[in-house]
Structure 1
């Protein structure tokens, strides 16, 4: 018991901050408190405005879920070293906390609660265990005291630490940030960073997704980083709706400095030929482009130069396929070049293939490249055909290449790779009939001449 009953920490997390204190001043009984909390918050139906959802869970269903919650929590306490008697005493003294746990279950399974279906034991356990583990990590020995004194053990949240805090401190705050957004339904006091994104038009689900993946967002400077980022993107021609998509796709951008990161990156890319007029499209296609260091981008550019590509070609590739910047030189680009060099292609020919089909580097070795290469060797095409049409590797082997080659072989004609694969179904049939007709006509003429 001593292992878990020491002096508790001063900060439980922001999961109930704001919303819980308001509720507590308006509701006098645990039952009312629980019904309000379990029903969830929204802008039109919340305890913040002095009202709460009148939907009440059926007593039998509620009792069953409460008992299962107690069972899960009891087992969790036993795993932490408490005896059966001490765990049972803690459960008895923690009715409000048990109600809070049930409310989390309902929040996580709202759609099922709406149809008044009793949740399964597995659903209850899968919802509660990760949350209890996060509380144990946060409170340690003080967990039991916090639970038994809930909610009186809550204190005001500490002020946010400066942006320069180390990564371990940020990681320790992750459960707090996530629970604040998820538990309160965004109805409680929010960080100004989140309020700003909501004002831009970001919905609650998008906010939740961002916080889960990048909780550090609420510690990034609103005035020095997030607002300058938005203005920067607007100035480049990105529409506001596009900015929201970019932040949702790559929220790490909110932590970058305009002058130390974003502008130098774009300036460098402009220098290697990326079309400035296409900046909005480029960033929208691949927002992570702005997160890479100059050394990372330089390594990609250097390899493309080594393949013989001109600055103009490199600029076009990075403009149309900015994902290139995210490729690993050692794990992806160099092995691909080596693959073709080992099969007799010159470095210049590899460069031509890359410039003609930049997506070549996005093809899986084992699942696509090697099987298609091996089948190509059975078709009798020369290496030169592949240099002219490297897009061959982008077509499905089973659904396009093999069936069309079989038809060409059956008709006894020959077709270039380009004509065989790139034509639409109707055009391919027309071309095949035309070649077949021409072949038969030539054979007829040859027979008449021989007579």
Structure 2
């Protein structure tokens, strides 16, 4: 029996060999000399589990191979295209997401911070994923919001937690080299070299994830005719990369067993009929492979009808599904619970439909743990929450302590009143979705050099939505070079030709030149 091709590639460089116990069908690794003792999770990290955990060397090798490969894949975007200041800010954002994730697993603030501070290579890996997932944003100079960063990284961290469980902290801290405790023998130091590593692993210490290995084998092994399985060939024809298919299987092994003719193809054909672009199908499947396992007649179509009755624009289904394919996998009670809450805060049926169409992932937020507390917080500021829901529903998915309160305090500390802040929120609902460290602070510091009164930001809070390096600084440089005075909103919101016209008009007026 052979391991899947991808795993053989990972194991061959280490010259490992497989053997089967004569008394058992289980497989184990055997290399001769040095014994690797099981690694015990530190007692300081007990929130994940109070039980002693043993790291299988095979699991460590596979983990290392996979994460290193992912790092190469996600590092394919040229980071030189990203300004150094933005890169630094994104690292801080990634650290914040990782810290919050660890705290949700039961770690204290101090322990979570200590883990993150020891994990710079893993943080760089997270930022690289951002650059690959949102390449189009960077190419046009658009900066990611805090919410976009969180929504991109949190599912990935959850996937790693599902796969590595109690060993995740070790994976994070030692990325891309998961730790292996060396033998404590007197001569072990001289024997432990990349060329001569010798490992003995008994069958009882090997903990293969057989379900995932079998699932991966279904998409990696060639059939007797030398071809890949039909469902893999079909997905490749749709534009999915083989490594992406494997990543889907690692996250959701059941997908490997879905019938091409009875499950995958009917759902794909249905999505294409709805107007989903063929090029978007791989992204949708990657985001939510479970979608292909849902019955069209019994679940998908009835759920869509239910949502259409709630106001979802049926002509926008292609965009809705691309943005958040998981929407169609939620139960009716979950959908109704969120919709009832939107009615409760004052949205009309028409606006509920628009919110679900524009921001379908709002369904994923817990009403009691996320939406209601955020509503109460904005009401304490005197904000019209129904209007804010219509303009920037994603705001209500942010953490009050980590995101909302710090932004409020930032504006108050810089001389704005609650009334002025309320006006800014009403004029630009997305204001609170931006990172404080990576967006607001650097743009605020540059604003102070521009010579505008602070009240200009109350009139035009959209200033914070423009790229500092790609829009704000270049436009202001032209204004300053020509010695003209232009309103802030005109400096940033006008198209290139219109902006040039305004500058020329100001120059003519300034020097008394008639048109």
Which TM-score band applies after superposition, normalised by the shorter structure? 0.5 to 0.7
Contact 1:282–1:322 (Cα < 8 Å) also in 2: yes
Pick aligned residue for 2:364 from 323, 326, 342? 326
Contact 1:107–1:183 (Cα < 8 Å) also in 2: no
- How many pairs does the alignment contain? 313
Q: Corresponding residue for 2:431?
A: 392
Q: Does 2:407 correspond to 1:372?
A: yes
Distance 1:419 1:189 in 2: 59
The alpha-carbon distance between structure 1 residues 418 and 353, as it changes in their structure 2 partners (threshold 3 A), is farther
The alpha-carbon distance between structure 1 residues 266 and 125, as it changes in their structure 2 partners (threshold 3 A), is farther
The alpha-carbon distance between structure 1 residues 197 and 400, as it changes in their structure 2 partners (threshold 3 A), is same
Q: Corresponding residue for 1:267?
A: 305
Distance 2:63 2:326 in 1: 35
Distance 1:121 1:188 in 2: 40
Q: Corresponding residue for 2:342?
A: 304
Distance 2:323 2:9 in 1: 40
Residues 252-275 of structure 1 show CA distances to partners (whole Å, capped at 9, x for unaligned) of 112111122211121111111111
Q: Does 2:63 correspond to 1:75?
A: no
Q: Corresponding residue for 2:290?
A: 252
Pick aligned residue for 2:392 from 357, 371, 375? 357
Structure number, greater radius of gyration: 1
Gapped runs of 5+ residues in structure 1? 1-11, 20-36, 41-56, 80-99, 112-118, 139-170, 435-451
Distance 1:340 1:39 in 2: 54
Distance 2:360 2:367 in 1: 15
Distance 2:196 2:213 in 1: 18
Pick aligned residue for 1:281 from 295, 319, 330? 319
With 420-429 and 351-360 compared, the bigger mean Cα shift is at 420-429
Q: Does 2:272 correspond to 1:216?
A: no
SS in 1 for 2:456: coil
Distance 2:254 2:461 in 1: 52
SS in 2 for 1:75: coil
The alpha-carbon distance between structure 1 residues 330 and 413, as it changes in their structure 2 partners (threshold 3 A), is closer
TM-score norm. by structure 2 comes to 0.50
The alpha-carbon distance between structure 1 residues 306 and 177, as it changes in their structure 2 partners (threshold 3 A), is same
The alpha-carbon distance between structure 1 residues 382 and 122, as it changes in their structure 2 partners (threshold 3 A), is farther
Q: Does 2:455 correspond to 1:417?
A: no
Q: Corresponding residue for 2:487?
A: 431
Distance 2:452 2:206 in 1: 73
Gapped runs of 5+ residues in structure 2? 18-28, 39-57, 71-176, 178-190, 467-471, 480-484, 491-515
Shift of 1:250: 1.4
Contact 1:229–1:258 (Cα < 8 Å) also in 2: yes
Contact 1:193–1:217 (Cα < 8 Å) also in 2: no
Q: Does 2:438 correspond to 1:382?
A: no
Contact 2:460–2:488 (Cα < 8 Å) also in 1: no
Contact 2:216–2:256 (Cα < 8 Å) also in 1: no
RMSD over equivalenced CA pairs, Å: 4.7
The alpha-carbon distance between structure 1 residues 73 and 175, as it changes in their structure 2 partners (threshold 3 A), is farther
Q: Does 2:380 correspond to 1:337?
A: no
Residues 75-97 of structure 1 show CA distances to partners (whole Å, capped at 9, x for unaligned) of 36x87xxxxxxxxxxxxxxxxxx
